[in-house]
């Protein structure tokens, strides 16, 4: 077997990672590039931060895949179509889609909205960024995957769906809906050799969303977690790498909990 393909199992594959200018998305983009994939980094507004992420990946000795950046709001289908077309034109196709983008959210237990104070607009905002964004990207990329009878889709959800330690109502509802879409699409897409899975990430240190989480909540989560710490962006990226790899070719419609064992089912 070719040594390059042994050490870089995604060589020749092309991935789109949404919301990838920072945090979890940036870690996923780096991991896929280290595995040999060409990667399109989608970002919403901060071009400087996206370019910094590109530079970090390009300066990583292990990263072999080519990287481009595309500015696209995943809630806008026209922009998503442009993102998809640019990726296909640059790299020759699309093999992997990682839906990481979401509307801005802060895991701040001190200032969270209770159910009585959470209006439908709050739910709609989160559903727009999470569910509609994923719907748009899947709509745009699935034709490429169908034509080649191969594809990997990974949707980034949350372990709060199964274990709402703090009830962030609108966020959890949107991430739960994403799990439903993951399962229903997996049922249909399997006919074309496409797997669709989700990652249920635990509270992840160093992200914008987790910055406001209070120390007592962090400590409570750590105490309840068998592996005794919070998740990192690299942990989530590792889960994605596993699901898009060839060893996971017979896994679809599943939700992988990357939370140190906090959620056991």
| Burial of 65: CB neighbours in 10 Å, binned 0-12, 13-18, 19+ | buried
Q: Is 144 a catalytic residue?
A: no
Across 159-241, the runs of DSSP E, i.e. the strands, are 194-201
For 30, list phi and psi in degrees, rounded to 5. Answer: -60, -45
- Maximum pairwise Cα distance, the chain: 60
Whether residue 156 contacts residue 204, with contact meaning beta carbons closer than 8 Å, is answered with no
Closest CA to 57 of 22, 20, 29: 29
Closest CA to 153 of 136, 170, 128, 171: 136
Q: Residues with catalytic annotation?
A: 171
């Amino acid at each position: 077997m070719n040594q390059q393909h042994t050490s870089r199992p995604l060589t020749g594959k092309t991935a789109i990672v949404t919301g990838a200018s920072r945090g979890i998305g940036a870690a996923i983009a780096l991991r896929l590039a280290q595995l040999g994939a060409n990667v399109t980094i989608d970002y919403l507004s901060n071009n400087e931060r996206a370019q910094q992420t590109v530079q970090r990946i390009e300066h990583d000795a292990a990263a072999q895949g080519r990287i481009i950046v595309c500015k696209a709001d995943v809630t806008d289908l026209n922009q998503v179509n442009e993102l998809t077309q640019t990726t296909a034109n640059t790299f020759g196709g699309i093999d992997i889609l990682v839906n990481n983008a979401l509307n801005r959210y802060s895991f701040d237990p001190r200032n969270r909205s209770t159910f009585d104070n959470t209006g439908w607009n709050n739910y709609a905002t989160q559903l727009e960024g999470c569910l509609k964004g994923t719907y748009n990207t899947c709509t745009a990329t699935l034709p490429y995957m169908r034509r080649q009878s191969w594809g990997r889709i990974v949707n980034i959800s949350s372990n709060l769906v199964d274990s709402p330690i703090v009830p962030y109502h609108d966020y959890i509802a949107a991430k739960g809906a994403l799990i439903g879409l993951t399962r229903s699409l997996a049922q249909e897409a399997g006919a074309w050799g496409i797997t669709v899975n989700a990652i249920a990430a635990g509270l992840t240190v160093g992200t914008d969303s987790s910055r406001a989480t209070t120390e007592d909540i962090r400590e409570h989560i750590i105490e309840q977690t068998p592996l005794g710490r919070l998740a990192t962006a690299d942990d989530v990226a590792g889960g994605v790498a596993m699901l898009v790899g060839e060893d996971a070719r017979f896994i679809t419609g599943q939700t992988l909990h990357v939370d140190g064992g906090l959620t056991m089912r």
